[in-house]
Structure 1
């Protein structure tokens, strides 16, 4: 088979151009599919890097039109992780990839055996629906920002249930192909990406993974870290012959006249900003060409919003804009683009970008987020001064394909900034000074005329192996805080929280407000003029956060700690958002909530919660354990897991829910069934409560009866009881295999993992016996018979292993788990942990059909 011709046909089919011999991939795109993967990809902007990577990955995974027909390249992992530095128009990448897969006839959903595509964002997920994480044996493409992806890769996923962190961690480090696009925008995320690649090599993944860094302005020195050497990295770039291709030359030699704008940002006082915005609005209006797109890129959301308001031809604004050069009747409608919009508004903006400019043209006002993978081309570009690598990316959004060459070319105006720290934000003044020296003597921004990116890598915190290993423990510390990963993900001034708005009256717990959907969430900066400014003006009781331990919404006080990835619920009447403006701390108009009947109305996941035990159909415990064991066996076969590790996964699923025989859980399940059906569960032990489909999952308490007195067991975790029963059955011995099974049993909900201690507000035994997670030393699990007739006698639970040192149960739990982490490494241990959980999820789902 002639590979280039065959790949050309595949490439055409992906774009819906089958049979069009004039449509073909660039040579570098073909080489990416034909040759071994490089480590770095450096090609000019507008050369189809996303298509090059995604289609080459599909080709090497053996996919062809309508199915998998070829041998899989062993060096190509099954999950393609496409990491973008900004959220703006992440959906564009998502939509393009979906279109290519549709055209090839191989787009599917999880479980279809095809290729699925997923956006990784914050927000709740419906436990009744299959997710990407449940099908690790399938090929899939995951797309997200570095915040969402790197936080998951560091076991601290932003905007998601903390109890799902280990599963996402496992799949993002095993059988994963990371694509880091537009690396010049990644900030601290860039050295973190290099360190993670180094750790996957030194700590050994369960399945091969790799990374590919992409940029038109790549400086390989930026990828050199204490554990990662960039010298040996293989780079794919255009050959001299490719550079002379007519289509490439049109891009590289696109005519882009460069000059300094008359407007200048001289200071950060209100008067300075107002004067600057008015001057810039006049300049933009004067330079705009009807029928074309003018793009204005500003360095902060606040300035972008101010310019949008100044140019917005709403009747209320016309009096203030009477001096603009364009008459109101023909004035182009401005469009604002940044990362602080809710999902529906962001998609509406994206839809407008797909349209041709109207006769009067359009003016796009954006932040630096427009640099990251946005496929648009302007005739006129205004940009504030930025680091040189960012300026080159911005220039690439003007006359992108050389389409304006025949009409005299495009115009680019660069805007100088005052040489001080405040005006330079979010950039460093030294980086702007270096860029100013490069740009002030240039008259052309054609790619062929631009000097290379040679500035030194910015100084960022570098993740060390010890700190990374510490992240594996997902329990908060004794003060209730998590280890802060923010310095390794994004610059502090650019870090975000997630906000959503609701009408909840005086108390969101009565009735209980459900978890937010991803469409409700809006990113908002932790910078002084954003979230802190909003919270400062709000009244007590207008800001709430979910407390998974207390299992309720708690008021967020003004002096409470803000951290990246935190999810806050704001009273709709408090304002802070406008559909066309995005998040704006000063906006006081009521925000329209997006909660609707289509939103999954489920309680945010709590420590005490067990939503997968409160499904519609009641399921006996022996059946569920057998089903989970069978699913584990099938999953291990599909992924080629064999030997002792396969036995550990299968055995763990066989035992994982044995603790549901505990009186506390059994009572909760029976109470839940009674609330959900008005009937009693039958005799025996049960894994799922069952309820009527039209009823929400009930909230029942874990309780036991002692000497005729009812005692609530707060924070009860049945998986701890399951693990203790397993160790009891093994006479509490400690070896790698026994301890691995014990860990996998305990960790199958992500709530009992590396450490074991009592939690706040637990019910304490009256006689000072040991207790943790609702389980008391001396509790008894009744005799139990598995589906295959294996019978376990009654088990008396011991908790001595929660204490440090060697005891009657052998080494402590901390000693056992730390030894596993050292022996297997974090990637392999998480991989096995995730397999046990996925098998459990699959069994639960099939039982509900």
Structure 2
């Protein structure tokens, strides 16, 4: 059942808005903000917007920009709906995947306190949190849910997103995940969900780009896109109709609107301590040698200077160098230290184990670690993944040559809080690798810049042994950055128009990556995941892919380990169907599914030399595939006989009781084995929770599912939607609930009243095409009955057969019939327009499953039947032939893009579609 809806006209009084200082203290264990944090919060609220750049040195609480954004949104909740200026969604964007992501942890902390203010320690803090939570909840068109939703986008698979456009949310994302969504080609988005993800990125969004010098092309792209649609009428107030992008960087150079420390900050005791934190840098300018060996030697020298356990971080420029350093350090240290490897190429489950060791209270390197003596030395070997977003603090540091900005960021992980008086660093400089032919191409990642860095360092060093590189001094020592950003192509309106065609993308379209990453970017990646069961091409992946099991690897590096004749299994545009592709057909942003016994991964992530079987992370909270070879990989069990009995593939009419008995025997047989994914107790519990009844789904592997397992992914696919529920839901009732929910979301966002009414009507009408006699026969599995249904209680195992029996064509889209009925209703009405925007109404109806951008593809049909329904007491009919194409739809779609802009149209669609998802979610069978 869907939840009861509060009438949209009801307005509840809001509690008084707490000050920023009170909110900051409530979410930061009672601490007071730095002066700059309070000053920025008040400036943002007073000006109704953010400075172009936040130029605050590392270690001085830049993550508080998240607190400010959430506080400003809550403060703006009392504004009239059409006058609100604070964006509903707060994007925190970084240029790379972070293994130790302090911002994500802080965002989750804020959200949990807002969900449960009673967890705060003091009465004043509880009152503050309750007030902010209430004000945030008032912004959503679906009251009673969480005040603040946290979404994390990583890898090439990301089904997670804000549940609806008016939901206050913090979204943590990499540059490719945000940039690809902004340009209607979201990595990890299925074809049907790309418009929604574009709307959630491109409208009503504050985009805080951490260390924005690493995302220069994205910083330029966002304002350039606004120039492509200068005449579009905003769906929301102008300030919220597009993305607002802000640079957060300790090494910025914005000449104009740059927010920085003032005299009050410089007089603050803690700020002074951190700006003057002791950091001495030794320069080792080597004429030749092996980088891994020289880095290892420097580590041994540094930690050998102390007679007690300590901590040291080693920064390398490439994952391969990091691997070599990591492999050499263990033997050199003789087991006297814990050595960890961080390259960012880890699955979430493996990364969590590494994170816990880094942040471990006794021997970790968390910046807030208690000052108790260590019992073990910790050495962390890292690539750039630890440069930003990590609130860690080491006593010693070793780094390869790099650019100015990177060196400043790396030094920001050294003696971060000024608590290590003997803190030291070593900078190892080697000549660039030689290109074939003898010329110098520069250094990997940093080009020619390290040559200027070493000159400046040696000049600053003079005849001294080392250099003072405290935060107050480091910019003077290193000077201005010299890196070349490189080129990115220009976005033109015609190109943007092609990208908006998400349902029928034009062949040979331009890739989006160069527009937010630059032409010369070397890190365009594919996402890899490892599965015990990899379905054949044309079938769908089960369990549904999730970002937590993916590892991002550069395309060129992945190709190097592939066999010439190797056929790869790639996820198609729907995000779940397998395609067979060759090496040459790989594209950035692809997701490749590898067999678990293919290797290439170890406990520290991507390991091209490893041939060991990889654990399958997808099954532990879903179930087991009924595939003997897959189960042998998963837990070493030879259960071919039991699997065959559970499947009964050779039996003309399988017996459910016999299959269930065979499934029970399979579960018992598995108890004698073990999987590397789970310990003995967890494995036993897992088997106890398996339901001994095989589940069969067309186009997917048969399986045994957990009682409370999570399928993940969408409950419908690109071909046949799954309109299943525990009870049948009437068509009128479903439409009324979706229309009401969509209206509330639109009103909460501040959409103009005329469009709100069209949105509500579209929600009411979106499923009318399901009144087709064939579709009703499908929903009822051949049983006659009235009234017309929107949801069916047919058993899932009967779903595919019921469609065939009802003669509903595969790939047929009921929304095309819905649009025909609505169009004929409008034409038959005494007032042809009936007060509605006809273009917008028809488009929102036909696009509610992501089609109609610009076409709904036909299905092989040819029926001469009609579909009939009564709309507001008026009988309406239309042709039910799904082979017919509405050739007016592309022109309608183009007119709407001209009027509202690409992201405005996508937002209007998202309101209706996500309202439908929310209403359906309360009744779906997964």
Query: Could you say whether these structures have the same fold, taking a TM-score greater than 0.5 normalized by the shorter chain as the test?
Result: yes
* 1:92-171 → structure 2 map (5 Å cutoff): 92-103=102-113, 105=117, 106=129, 112-121=145-154, 132-171=161-200
Q: Would the alpha carbon gap of residues 459 and 251 (structure 1) be closer, same or farther in structure 2, given more than 3 Å must change?
A: same
Q: Distance in 2 between matches of 1:506 and 1:738?
A: 44
Contact 2:274 2:417 in 1 (8 A): yes
Indicate the SS of the match to 2:340.
Answer: strand
Indicate the SS of the match to 1:536.
Answer: coil
Gaps of 5+ in 2: 1-15, 45-49, 118-128, 364-373, 461-466, 623-709
Partner of 2:482 in structure 1? 455
Pick which of 94-103 and 418-427 moved more.
Answer: 418-427
Contact 1:263 1:280 in 2 (8 A): no
Partner of 1:641 in structure 2? 751
1:118 shift after superposition: 1.8
Indicate the SS of the match to 1:440.
Answer: helix
Partner of 1:843 in structure 2? 919
Does residue 624 in structure 1 map to residue 734 in structure 2?
yes
Contact 1:83 1:149 in 2 (8 A): yes
Q: Distance in 1 between matches of 2:176 and 2:55?
A: 23
Contact 2:535 2:541 in 1 (8 A): no
Q: Distance in 2 between matches of 1:14 and 1:564?
A: 39
Indicate the SS of the match to 1:134.
Answer: coil
Q: Distance in 2 between matches of 1:202 and 1:337?
A: 48
Q: Distance in 2 between matches of 1:388 and 1:696?
A: 61
Q: Distance in 1 between matches of 2:233 and 2:450?
A: 40
Q: Which string of whole-angstrom CA distances, capped at 9 and with x for unpartnered residues, describes residues 353-406 of structure 1?
A: 21242433111111112112111122221112222112111111112122223x
Contact 1:727 1:742 in 2 (8 A): yes
Q: Which string of whole-angstrom CA distances, capped at 9 and with x for unpartnered residues, describes residues 482-538 of structure 1?
A: 5411112335411111111111278487896332122211111213xx21123237x
Q: Which string of whole-angstrom CA distances, capped at 9 and with x for unpartnered residues, describes residues 21-72 of structure 1?
A: xx42111001011113322100100010112x122223223369xxx89999
1:613 shift after superposition: 1.5
Contact 2:192 2:850 in 1 (8 A): yes
Does residue 718 in structure 1 map to residue 814 in structure 2?
yes
Q: Distance in 1 between matches of 2:535 and 2:251?
A: 52
Q: Which string of whole-angstrom CA distances, capped at 9 and with x for unpartnered residues, describes residues 682-721 of structure 1?
A: 34432122245xx56843575588xxxx6x7332111122
Contact 2:543 2:711 in 1 (8 A): yes
Partner of 1:334 in structure 2? 339
* 1:749-764 → structure 2 map (5 Å cutoff): 749-756=849-856, 758=857
Q: Would the alpha carbon gap of residues 552 and 627 (structure 1) be closer, same or farther in structure 2, given more than 3 Å must change?
A: same
Q: Would the alpha carbon gap of residues 55 and 471 (structure 1) be closer, same or farther in structure 2, given more than 3 Å must change?
A: same
2:496 to 449, 452, 468: 468
Q: Which string of whole-angstrom CA distances, capped at 9 and with x for unpartnered residues, describes residues 756-815 of structure 1?
A: 5x5xxxxxxxxxxxxx24565x754332135x6543245466988655xxxxxxxx3222
Q: Would the alpha carbon gap of residues 419 and 195 (structure 1) be closer, same or farther in structure 2, given more than 3 Å must change?
A: farther
Partner of 2:599 in structure 1? 575
Indicate the SS of the match to 2:326.
Answer: helix
2:611 to 574, 582, 588: 588
Q: Distance in 2 between matches of 1:750 and 1:827?
A: 14
Partner of 2:257 in structure 1? 234
Partner of 1:566 in structure 2? 590
Contact 1:821 1:829 in 2 (8 A): yes
Q: Distance in 2 between matches of 1:204 and 1:504?
A: 50
Does residue 254 in structure 1 map to residue 357 in structure 2?
no
1:7 to 20, 30, 47: 20
Does residue 825 in structure 1 map to residue 901 in structure 2?
yes
Partner of 1:372 in structure 2? 388
Q: Distance in 2 between matches of 1:649 and 1:774?
A: 31
Q: Would the alpha carbon gap of residues 431 and 140 (structure 1) be closer, same or farther in structure 2, given more than 3 Å must change?
A: same
Indicate the SS of the match to 2:552.
Answer: strand
1:722 shift after superposition: 1.7
Give the count of matched residue pairs: 755
Q: Which string of whole-angstrom CA distances, capped at 9 and with x for unpartnered residues, describes residues 263-318 of structure 1?
A: 67x5xxxxx7xx43234323322222542221111111111122112223xxxxxx
Q: Distance in 2 between matches of 1:602 and 1:508?
A: 21
Indicate the SS of the match to 1:586.
Answer: coil
Contact 2:89 2:204 in 1 (8 A): yes
Q: Distance in 2 between matches of 1:359 and 1:297?
A: 24
Indicate the SS of the match to 1:782.
Answer: strand
Partner of 2:314 in structure 1? 296
Contact 1:255 1:446 in 2 (8 A): yes
Q: Distance in 2 between matches of 1:85 and 1:464?
A: 21
1:554 shift after superposition: 2.7
Q: Would the alpha carbon gap of residues 24 and 392 (structure 1) be closer, same or farther in structure 2, given more than 3 Å must change?
A: same
Does residue 25 in structure 1 map to residue 52 in structure 2?
no
2:246 to 197, 212, 215: 212
Indicate the SS of the match to 2:890.
Answer: helix
- Aligned Cα RMSD in Å? 3.5
Indicate the SS of the match to 2:321.
Answer: helix
Contact 1:625 1:657 in 2 (8 A): yes
1:579 shift after superposition: 1.4
Does residue 47 in structure 1 map to residue 71 in structure 2?
no
Q: Distance in 2 between matches of 1:689 and 1:177?
A: 41
Indicate the SS of the match to 2:514.
Answer: helix
Does residue 85 in structure 1 map to residue 95 in structure 2?
yes
Partner of 1:553 in structure 2? 578
Q: Which string of whole-angstrom CA distances, capped at 9 and with x for unpartnered residues, describes residues 246-267 of structure 1?
A: 3222222222222223667x5x
1:342 shift after superposition: 0.3
Q: Would the alpha carbon gap of residues 577 and 136 (structure 1) be closer, same or farther in structure 2, given more than 3 Å must change?
A: same
Q: Distance in 1 between matches of 2:617 and 2:896?
A: 45
Partner of 2:531 in structure 1? 502
2:357 to 319, 343, 352: 352
Q: Which string of whole-angstrom CA distances, capped at 9 and with x for unpartnered residues, describes residues 566-619 of structure 1?
A: 111101001011112x01222111111112251433677875445452344322
Q: Distance in 2 between matches of 1:348 and 1:234?
A: 42
Gaps of 5+ in 1: 18-22, 221-230, 267-271, 313-320, 675-679, 759-771, 804-811
